[in-house]
């Protein structure tokens, strides 16, 4: 199943209408499975396709996609960024992010589970994020 079809299935499961705008947004975001893109860039792109589409509609759809696990968001000093979910089968995962090229690599191991249970016994942990920053192998070789 293609990435977009998988996301459309998720939208349908949650009774969200499949509009031309949502489909176009999913198709655009699916190009960013391995790197983050600024939300302002997403907004500009959507306005080239649908000039009458409001900023609120775009941001509301992004929030809905994030809540459903279709995309992942990140706050940077320059503003919010999004990327398409890299692993629908494993929503709990972490990332290495290259500081030079922006490539995002999935980390399958979660080093925080045991640590959090040891450090916070009896607490209910509802979620966490773990991101490692550095320079990818390709960028290191090109330096």
Closest Cα partner for 3 from 29, 38, 37, 39? 29
Does 98 count as an annotated binding residue? yes
Instruction: Confirm if 60 and 22 have CB atoms less than 8 A apart.
Output: no
Does 81 count as an annotated binding residue? no
Does 136 count as an annotated binding residue? yes
Residue whose structure tokens are 């907004």: 43
Helices (H), the chain: 3-13, 20-29, 39-49, 55-67, 112-119, 137-142
Does 110 count as an annotated binding residue? no
Q: CA of 79: how far to CAs of 24, 64, 76, in Å?
A: 23, 18, 5
Per the annotation, binding residues for Zn(2+) are 98, 101, 136, 139
Per the annotation, binding residues for Fe cation are 92, 128
Per the annotation, binding residues are 92, 98, 101, 128, 136, 139
């Amino acid at each position: 199943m293609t990435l977009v079809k998988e996301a459309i299935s998720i939208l349908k499961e949650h009774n969200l209408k499949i509009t031309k705008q949502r489909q176009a947004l999913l198709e655009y975001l699916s190009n960013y499975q391995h790197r983050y893109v600024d939300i302002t860039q997403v907004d500009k792109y959507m306005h080239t396709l649908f000039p009458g589409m409001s900023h609120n509609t775009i941001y509301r759809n992004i929030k809905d996609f994030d809540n459903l696990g279709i995309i992942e968001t990140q706050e940077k000093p320059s503003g919010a960024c999004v990327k398409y979910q890299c692993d629908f089968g494993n929503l709990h995962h972490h990332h290495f992010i290259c500081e030079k090229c922006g490539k995002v690599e999935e980390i399958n191991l979660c080093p925080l589970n045991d640590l959090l249970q040891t450090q916070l016994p009896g607490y209910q942990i509802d979620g966490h994020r773990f991101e490692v920053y550095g320079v990818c192998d390709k960028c290191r070789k090109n330096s």
